[in-house]
């Protein structure tokens, strides 16, 4: 009996570390998709276009739904903040669906930017991102490349880099 308990304990510790790396790998892949779709929305808005915003917002909603189902593998101390950021991202992306009003979409895109910037600052990414701000009203956005600048809040580039993300471990 004692040998059985030792074997079960050993197997539990053997397989337990697999949960967190699986979570990390899966959520990072999905978050890269979220940020990719977010950037595509920003690129459309920077051109004064509302085309495909709903499509990309729906992709963000789908990915964040999947991410929230993976949350069990996250260490408890990060779980609450992670859940809040994912729920906000999901909720704010829903506000982009169906609208064709460019100014409304730009306002909602600004709201969506905040939890994603919070995510990158807290949990990091395997990619480097630049955080831009529009100098007039300090609305922010995430952009993978330094140039060309793509200000989603107006039809011409007018922002500047205020921060860049760093790779962080889970």
Q: pLDDT tens for residues 60-102?
A: 999 999 988 876 666 677 788 888 999 999 999 999 999 999 9
- Residues whose CB falls within 8 Å of the CB of residue 153, separated by 6 or more in sequence, listed in order: 45, 106, 109, 110, 134, 137, 139, 141, 159
CA distance 42 to 139: 12
pLDDT category at 21 given cuts 50, 70, 90 is very low
Residues 6+ apart with CB under 8 A from 136: 158
| Span 99-141, pLDDT tens digits | 999 999 999 999 999 999 999 998 888 899 999 998 777 899 9
Q: Contact at 8 Å (CB) between 38 and 20?
A: no
CA-closest candidate to residue 112, choices 29, 38, 16, 4: 38
For the entire predicted model, the pTM comes to 0.81
Confidence of residue 23 (pLDDT cuts 50, 70, 90): low
Q: Which residue has the higher pLDDT, 123 or 41?
A: 41
pLDDT in the model for residue 108: 97
The CA dihedral of 98, 112, 130, 85, to the nearest 10 degrees, is -130
C-alpha 25 chain-centroid distance: 14
pLDDT, one tens digit per residue, over 43-57 is 999 999 999 999 999
Residues 151 and 43: their CA atoms lie apart, in Å, by: 8
Give the residue-averaged pLDDT of 31-35.
Answer: 95
Chain centroid to CA 140: 14
Residues β-bridged to residue 130: 143, 164
């Amino acid at each position: 009996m004692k040998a059985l308990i030792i074997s079960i304990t050993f197997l539990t510790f053997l397989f337990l570390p697999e949960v967190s790396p699986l979570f990390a790998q899966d959520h990072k892949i999905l978050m890269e998709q979220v940020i990719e779709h977010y950037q595509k929305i920003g690129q459309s808005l920077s051109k004064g276009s509302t085309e495909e915003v709903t499509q990309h917002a729906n992709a963000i909603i789908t990915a964040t739904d999947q991410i929230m189902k993976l949350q069990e593998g996250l260490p408890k101390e990060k779980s609450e903040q992670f859940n809040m950021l994912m729920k906000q991202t999901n909720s704010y992306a829903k506000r982009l669906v169906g609208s064709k009003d460019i100014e409304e979409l730009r306002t909602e895109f600004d709201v969506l930017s905040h939890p994603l910037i919070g995510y990158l600052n807290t949990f990091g990414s395997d990619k480097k991102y630049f955080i831009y701000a529009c100098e007039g009203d300090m609305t922010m956005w995430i952009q993978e490349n330094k140039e060309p600048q793509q200000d989603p809040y107006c039809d011409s580039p007018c922002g500047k880099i205020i921060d860049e993300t760093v790779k962080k471990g889970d």
